[in-house]
Structure 1
């Protein structure tokens, strides 16, 4: 399944199960930064949205309600992921807002939450570093030495083609093998490249051929 299809199904499921203010927020859709986190960090690193809850509702120390950007609820831990833009969370925050954010985080920790904060700029400019952090926490806290990557039937067929040929392949070869257009074959290859299933065999700005990532085989074979 491609990211967009998985994302739409993920959001729809949570809209259907939510109520009240949380449902209203979800119906409006996630913000740009939150969707970018899912697309550039979570999906390439994990490959599925199981246990992840957007706009998760928690009660704060003042008996009010707050919403976490994402909660990952999987025993034995509760993990909070917050996406921070420089403007609203730092430069434009008043002293009161700054102090309130710290108190909010402290109370989450007191309530046994593991709190992870990602800067929007890191998600946009250094997504691989963010992906590695997600994979490290999965391995350390949940015992996932390698987080399996969900592949579509066509993506699996590309992997099988590479395993069979034991060499690099081009979009034209994949196009012929799958019976699809070269443009679509390139989209499939780029998707696998983004998730580190493949690595570039030639080209820098425009990849012309692809190889199977030898370090990532346990993730998808």
Structure 2
């Protein structure tokens, strides 16, 4: 505390809030069973140097996932505060954060619902993480993961020429990675005619695969 001042010091003095404690006890611990990468009152600075303190930031692999516990009394009755909260959420998303806002009333009255929803959302991330070390173990490199995600966004289909244009890569580079994913059992080459020319590739993995993380 001697090394902190301003909002950083105030956050230390306040300690964990009521909603944050419920989230950790009723949702996070039953869901994950560890605290690897989970940071309370995490500071994020905008381009002007202004600090935002989010309730929780979970850093796992390349992902930055924010959990905000929203109390109606502090967020719903003051229009200016409400506006600033929404602006903060937009800013965080602009910084490549995934933001999940959780109602404090729902957390108190029905934590099993929050737990169920977050289990569905976070299962791929938790499955990709080594629970004992907190590290993400990957079988696919960054380009392979990106191609699988592109295919999912296009009804599981990916055309190398279009993907190459989107990723600003040479067409043959994308084809090379697609062929590699075929060998690994994630893509299926779809051919046409007697020439068996490959028209596009189909993603045949699961939508919630930890390999996408």
The residue aligned with 1:105 is 89
Q: 1:29, 1:47 → 2: CA distance?
A: 22
State the Cα distance separating 1:135 from its structure 2 match: 1.6
The residue aligned with 1:46 is 32
Q: 1:86 to 1:136 in 2, by over 3 A?
A: same
TM-score, structure 2 normalization: 0.54
Find out whether 1:138 has 2:122 as its counterpart. Answer: yes
CA contact (8 A) 1:71 1:78 kept: yes
Equivalences, count: 131
Q: 1:143 to 1:87 in 2, by over 3 A?
A: closer
The secondary structure found in structure 1 opposite 2:81 is helix
The residue aligned with 1:209 is none
CA contact (8 A) 1:61 1:107 kept: no
Q: 2:113, 2:103 → 1: CA distance?
A: 12
The residue aligned with 2:198 is none
Which runs of 5 or more structure 1 residues have no equivalent in the other structure? 1-14, 150-221
Residue in structure 2 matching 1:93, options 71, 78, 100: 78
Residue in structure 1 matching 2:104, options 107, 117, 120: 120
Which runs of 5 or more structure 2 residues have no equivalent in the other structure? 133-213
Q: Which has the larger radius of gyration?
A: 2
CA-based RMSD: 2.7
CA contact (8 A) 1:80 1:113 kept: yes
The secondary structure found in structure 1 opposite 2:30 is helix
Give per-residue Cα distances to partners, 1:36-77, cap 9 Å, x unaligned. Answer: 111111111111111100000011354311100000011121
Give per-residue Cα distances to partners, 1:65-100, cap 9 Å, x unaligned. Answer: 11000000111210010000111111x212x22222
